[in-house]
């Protein structure tokens, strides 16, 4: 049996087993919030569809406005915080005005470990991290104008104003991190992962992804948990959208790392 055939067989087997074991639980735990709304009109004013000739692909006017505003109000101070007077790197900060490079940061996809790795990297670039600031890396996050994620399937897309007004849609591991940041209004990475003792709960990294309540598959809490997962993913399928097996894993991890503040 070829590798693609084996993957397809395992995917089908997993779906059948979960459906049979937890079918009754799904009925008791209807969750539809995961299903996207389809066939809706685009928001107005403005349009999500841009048209341009192949020889010229200008930025959208909203993006141009965002970049212009950010560079005139935010960027200079962010670079000053990071570089100081720039003498340590052989420059005069005054000579850099109006010449700052436009920075974008990309977070990988793939899965749960990538979300944790990406959080560690962003923490090392965050001005709010005292250790990173002392070592000279803290501050790069604040001078960036774009944050994007890539790789995987089962997209979790976000475009919300916060530290960055322009957030590129992301998928899988990177999107769990990006979604967690956006939904919690851009806290520091330490607060995001460990909580802040107030309204922001921590990532639940100590919970087992498969059996979070106890090792027993017969645990009613585990069955309710999986019933919720299956019902949520099924609601997407019921709307006529393709549901790959990664959606189950994506929804599980998103549940544990993207919990909005209480």
Mean pLDDT score across all residues of the chain: 74
DSSP state of 106: E
pLDDT of the residue at 132: 95
Residue range 121-149: mean pLDDT, rounded? 93
pLDDT digit string, tens, across residues 76-106: 999 998 888 887 778 888 888 888 889 999 8
Residue found by looking up tokens 């591991």 in the block: 173
Is residue 166 within 8 Å of 146, Cβ to Cβ?
yes
pLDDT of the residue at 200: 83
Is residue 235 within 8 Å of 35, Cβ to Cβ?
yes
pLDDT beyond 90 at 123: yes
Residue range 32-44: mean pLDDT, rounded? 70
pLDDT of the residue at 116: 86
CA angle 157, 158, 160 (to 5 degrees): 170
pLDDT beyond 70 at 14: no
Q: How confident is the model at residue 134 (pLDDT cuts 50, 70, 90)?
A: very high
Note if the pTM is more than 0.95: no
d(C-alpha 139, C-alpha 100), whole Å: 14
């Amino acid at each position: 049996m070829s590798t693609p055939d084996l993957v397809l067989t395992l995917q089908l087997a997993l779906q059948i087993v979960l459906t049979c074991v937890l079918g009754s639980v799904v009925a008791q735990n209807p969750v539809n919030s995961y299903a996207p709304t389809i066939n809706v009109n685009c928001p107005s004013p403005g349009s999500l569809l841009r048209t341009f000739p192949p020889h010229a692909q200008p930025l959208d006017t909203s993006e141009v406005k965002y970049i212009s505003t950010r560079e005139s109000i935010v960027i200079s101070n962010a670079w000053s915080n990071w570089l100081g007077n720039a003498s340590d790197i052989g420059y005069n900060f005054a000579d850099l005005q109006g010449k700052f490079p436009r920075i974008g940061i990309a977070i990988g996809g793939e899965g749960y470990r990538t979300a944790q790795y990406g959080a560690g990297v962003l923490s090392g670039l965050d001005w709010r991290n005292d250790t990173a600031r002392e070592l000279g890396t803290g501050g790069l996050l604040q001078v960036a104008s774009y944050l994007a994620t890539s790789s995987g399937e089962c997209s979790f897309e976000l475009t919300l104003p916060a530290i960055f007004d322009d957030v590129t849609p992301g998928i899988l591991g990177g999107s769990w991190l990006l979604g967690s940041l956006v939904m919690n209004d851009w806290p520091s990475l330490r607060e995001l992962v460990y909580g802040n003792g107030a309204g922001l709960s921590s990532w639940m990294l100590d919970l087992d992804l498969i059996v979070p309540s106890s090792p027993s598959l017969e645990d009613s809490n585990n069955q309710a948990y999986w019933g919720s997962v299956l019902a949520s993913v099924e609601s997407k399928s019921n709307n006529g959208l393709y549901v790959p097996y990664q959606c189950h894993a994506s929804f599980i991890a998103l549940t544990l790392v993207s919990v909005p503040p209480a």
